[in-house]
């Protein structure tokens, strides 16, 4: 019985990592077939969730989702619905990286919301704010500043023109 639960837990973690780590452009179809690696200092299994704690990380191909804690949440049917990350959070693709204090990735619509001291980088370009909404399917992004009156309330960025 314990081995069955462990097997189900590991299978669920692998399934989450496959879905939660999409690639950009043509690399997306190639990444989906690549093996998934994951690790943490500890793994906790509960009803409809798996919690990876301490240097939690899931990688597939060139993509990486890393945080102090990753919580993988499944719905009533057992399908993974979302991944929640807390602590120092990184979502890194071959083309860009997102960093923040928390993140919630909704697998249904491909949207990741990163909050708290957010830094988005692509090449040398950098954008900072307090809340980033990024859709991995459409590559659309929106960055918001902190509420009015808060320190650092503006979205700020540095963009480098192409050297063509």
Task: Tell me which DSSP letter residue 146 carries.
Answer: P
The single-letter DSSP state of residue 59 is E
Q: What global pTM score does this model have?
A: 0.75
| pLDDT, position 100 | 96
Which two structure tokens, joined as six digits, stand for 22?
């999409």
Q: What is the pLDDT of residue 105?
A: 85
Condensed to tens digits (0 to 9), the pLDDT of residues 63-110 reads 788 999 999 888 888 777 888 999 999 999 888 899 999 999 887 788
Higher-confidence residue of 141 and 5: namely 141
Residue 163 lies in a domain: no
Tokens of 10: 């590991």
Angstrom distances, CA of residue 142 to CA of 70, 88, 126, 131: 23, 20, 14, 8
Question: Residue 67 domain-assigned?
Answer: yes
Range of the domain at 82: 2-158
% of the chain surpassing 70 pLDDT = 71
The overall average pLDDT reported for the chain is 77
Domain-embedded: residue 117: yes
Each residue's pLDDT tens digit, 112-143: 899 999 999 999 999 999 999 998 778 889 99
**Number of domains the chain is built from:** 1
CA 70 – CA 58 distance, rounded (Å): 9
Number of Cβ within a 10 Å radius of residue 101: 17
> Domain for residue 164, yes or no?
no
pLDDT in tens, 7-60: 343 344 333 333 333 433 344 444 445 555 678 999 998 889 989 999 999 776
- The CATH number that applies at residue 34 is 2.60.450.10
Determine, yes or no, domain membership for 89.
Answer: yes
Backbone angles phi, psi at 61, to 5 degrees: 60, -130
């Amino acid at each position: 019985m314990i081995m069955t639960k462990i097997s189900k837990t590991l299978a669920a973690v692998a399934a989450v990592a496959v879905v939660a780590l999409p690639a950009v452009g043509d690399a997306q179809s190639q990444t989906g077939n690549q093996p998934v690696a994951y690790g943490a200092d500890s793994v906790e299994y509960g009803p409809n969730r798996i919690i990876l704690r301490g240097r939690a990380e899931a990688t597939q191909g060139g993509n990486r989702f890393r945080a102090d804690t990753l919580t993988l949440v499944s719905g009533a049917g057992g399908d993974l619905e979302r991944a929640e990350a807390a602590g120092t959070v990184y979502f890194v693709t071959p083309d860009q990286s997102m960093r923040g204090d928390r993140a919630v990735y909704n697998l249904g619509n491909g949207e990741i919301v990163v909050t708290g001291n957010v830094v988005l980088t692509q090449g040398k370009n950098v954008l900072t704010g307090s809340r980033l909404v990024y859709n991995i399917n459409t590559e659309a992004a929106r960055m918001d500043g902190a509420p009015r009156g808060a320190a650092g309330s503006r979205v700020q960025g540095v963009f480098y023109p192409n050297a063509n």
